[in-house]
Amino acid sequence: MEKQEKLTMHTENIADANFIALAKMFPNAVTETIDENGEVVRAIDADVLAQEINTKVVSGKEERYQFTWPDKKKSVLLANAPIAATLRPCREESVDFDNTENLYIEGDNLDVLKLLRETYLNRVKMIYIDPPYNTGNDFIYEDDFDEDTGEFLRRDGQYDEQGNRLTTNFDSNGRFHTDWLNMMYPRLRVARDLLRDDGVIFISIDENEVSNMQKICNEIFGEKNYAATFIWTKTSTPPALSYKCRKTVEYVLVYEKKINTQKYFGSLLENGDAPLLNSDNPIKTIRFPKKTVKFNFIENGTIKAGKKEKALLKNDIFVVNSVNENEFELTAQFKWGQETIFNEIALGTYFLIKTDKFSIRFQRVNSKDAYKTPTNFMNVELNTSCGVNTNESAVKELENIGLSQYFDYPKPTSLIKALCSMVCKFEKDALILDFFSGSATTAHAVMQLNAEDGGNRKFIMVQIPEPCDEKSEAYKAGYKNICEIGKERIRRAGAKIKEENKDKEGIENLDTGFRVLKLDSSNMKEVYYTPEEYSQMNFNLDGFIDNIKPDRSDEDLLFQVMLDLGIPLSAKIEQKDNIFSVNDNYLIACFDKVDTSIITQIAKKQPCYAVFRDSSFINDSALVNVEQIFNTYSPNTKRRVL
């Protein structure tokens, strides 16, 4: 198997990649130094680098504009550090596992984002997050900044003995803002990599950390990529006992990966029709198909052919419910020709004749020109056409599916739908990520929006399985953690959306399923990552002949391989006789025993990747022949082993 490459089965070390890129640009800045352990390590000479970039480099105590806090450098390292972890599929908790393109991922969102980084690099159109607001008793993620990859491998799971990696951040804590910043900074650093170049991130936040959130976003995304701050009226019943002010609003910060001229879409123009006639245009005769013109001055009846003030009507028009029931022709000074008229009709444009003068106008229904740019104030009264409601309506939404008693302060689906529509209205297959999923409002909103406009937008929800308080109604109802409630919400919401739209054409194709994946330590034993250490030990190695943990299934291995090769986790998977085919033979994997005939069968399908276990080969003949077989039937297939 000399030519079969071994899969890494861990995420990329971003610091390594950055060093390689810098060394390539400035090789004379590469040097060596001694680290705190007395080891010789690689380094970049800052003085040489400063000379190369030929601009002012601030160092030492020299004053400069900056935003910093304790452990900031460690949080940067944490964002870049590799991990050896995996996502294990959970079919029994999924809905339509084999067909859905949606994902629900349980686990610490920093680890999950790192695992997603290679596969979903530059693929996500929109991110929405509603992170902890740091109000003085929020749970925040307690990251271990000193943990290295080896310690990660030795950890059996991702959570502590209580099943979580959360700690309460009381405002009496001396590291109150520091802990919150160290939690948010690395997650946003990794999340940025997932966004497409035209991608957008929306961040819900209140006044406690809005200024700090904007500062770290300015640093991570770039101040020039700041797009907007929306002010959302979260409640119609603010606390009456407030001494200073009754708080009714929260904020939604918006940053783009790369600022561009992309328009954000708000509500439809109320009077967005425009004239189709112009006195400077040449006279043309235009044919209007039936049911394409609305008449404001007549509901039912016949309009006789003849000369009108603005046009010549060539034939009678039969009007039913204010719409023409037959085709007719008009001669006038049209600014469009017949071909343009037909093209516009195909896009949904319709025409208006408001008076018997026949000054015909057009209205684009489903085009970018038919929508206002949204204001930065999202309010029920001022933005009714967008339908952005309050937290009170969010509670009612949960009441409708029997889950209202389990969540505090949920966001309304109307808020997320409005944000999705701003950037994904005309991109109906967009990928949308929420890595503080909570009550799974984003998943609910995406399914609802798809049902309304026939879209096929996909969601990825990420949530740590935060335990429910044993005294809570959720715990009493049998929900042990927030993920269990979130998944149940998606199940119930999906079923309700389909029932409410059962008469709508194509509703049976609406994807309301989701594939559940759970963060866990790598499927591989530690010997897989450091074989040289074990080969030098003087003891029986029988326990290490198989480098895969005994409690892991073939499907567990498949998903870690998909992560390693950058294959979407929603990819179509087919299994036959212990052979997995992913995305129509893009990847074929077999983790069972294989012989020459099985290898030949796989090679004849000419996959892009073929993956086997190191211990899969049934005999030496199979091992020797694999190279020859693939060279004969599929020389371009990339072979990998575990």
DSSP state letters, 448-460: HHHHHHT---EEE
pLDDT of residue 318: 96
pLDDT of residue 580: 97
Mean pLDDT, rounded, of the chain: 86
Q: Are 569 and 87 in contact (CB under 8 A)?
A: yes
Q: Assign 3-state DSSP to the chain and report helix, strand, coil percentages, each to 5.
A: 35, 25, 45
Q: Where are the alpha helices (DSSP H) in 501-619?
A: 526-529, 531-535, 554-565, 596-604
As given in the structure block, the two tokens for residue 247 are 């708080």
Using alpha carbons only, give the angle 565, 570, 574 rounded to the nearest 5 degrees.
85
Segment holding 227, helix H or strand E: strand 226-233
Q: Are 485 and 441 in contact (CB under 8 A)?
A: no
Q: pLDDT (tens digit, 9 = 90+) per residue, 578-596?
A: 999 999 999 999 999 888 8
pLDDT of residue 539: 44
pLDDT tier at 58 (50, 70, 90 boundaries)? Answer: low
pLDDT of residue 95: 98
- Strand-pairing partners, residue 286, are 330
- Strand-pairing partners, residue 582, are 573, 587
Spatial distance between the Cα atoms of 642 and 592, rounded to a whole number of angstroms: 12
pLDDT of residue 142: 65
Q: pLDDT (tens digit, 9 = 90+) per residue, 537-576?
A: 544 444 445 788 999 999 999 999 999 999 999 999 999 9
Q: What ranges do the domains of the chain cover?
A: 10-70, 85-267+371-518, 274-368, 547-641
pLDDT tier at 64 (50, 70, 90 boundaries)? Answer: low
As given in the structure block, the two tokens for residue 70 are 């304790």
Q: Are 97 and 513 in contact (CB under 8 A)?
A: yes
Q: Are 266 and 449 in contact (CB under 8 A)?
A: no
Confidence check: pLDDT of 375 > 80: yes
Q: pLDDT (tens digit, 9 = 90+) per residue, 441-486?
A: 999 999 999 999 999 999 999 999 999 989 989 999 999 999 999 9
pTM of the entire predicted model = 0.80
Spatial distance between the Cα atoms of 314 and 284, rounded to a whole number of angstroms: 12
pLDDT tier at 101 (50, 70, 90 boundaries)? Answer: very high
For residue 401, how far is the Cα from the chain centroid? Answer: 25
Spatial distance between the Cα atoms of 391 and 584, rounded to a whole number of angstroms: 44
Average pLDDT over residues 382-407: 78
CB atoms within 10 A of CB 112: 25
Confidence check: pLDDT of 299 > 80: yes
Average pLDDT over residues 221-239: 91
pLDDT of residue 330: 96
Confidence check: pLDDT of 239 > 50: yes
Q: To which residue do tokens 């680098």 refer?
A: 49
User: For the CA atoms of 402, 513, 503, 454, what is the dihedral angle to 10 degrees?
Assistant: 120
Q: pLDDT (tens digit, 9 = 90+) per residue, 2-55?
A: 456 777 777 777 777 788 888 877 777 778 788 777 777 778 877 777 766 766
pLDDT tier at 642 (50, 70, 90 boundaries)? Answer: confident
Q: To which residue do tokens 């503080």 refer?
A: 436
CB atoms within 10 A of CB 22: 14
Q: pLDDT (tens digit, 9 = 90+) per residue, 596-616?
A: 889 999 999 999 999 998 888
pLDDT of residue 505: 87
pLDDT tier at 366 (50, 70, 90 boundaries)? Answer: low
Spatial distance between the Cα atoms of 176 and 170, rounded to a whole number of angstroms: 7
Average pLDDT over residues 369-375: 83
Spatial distance between the Cα atoms of 617 and 614, rounded to a whole number of angstroms: 7
Spatial distance between the Cα atoms of 517 and 93, rounded to a whole number of angstroms: 9
User: Which has more pLDDT, 422 or 9?
Assistant: 422
Spatial distance between the Cα atoms of 431 and 125, rounded to a whole number of angstroms: 6
pLDDT of residue 555: 97
Q: pLDDT (tens digit, 9 = 90+) per residue, 327-354?
A: 999 999 999 999 999 998 988 888 999 9
Spatial distance between the Cα atoms of 63 and 390, rounded to a whole number of angstroms: 45
pLDDT of residue 407: 83
pLDDT of residue 57: 61
pLDDT of residue 530: 64
Please tell me the CATH code under which domain 85-267+371-518 is placed.
3.40.50.150
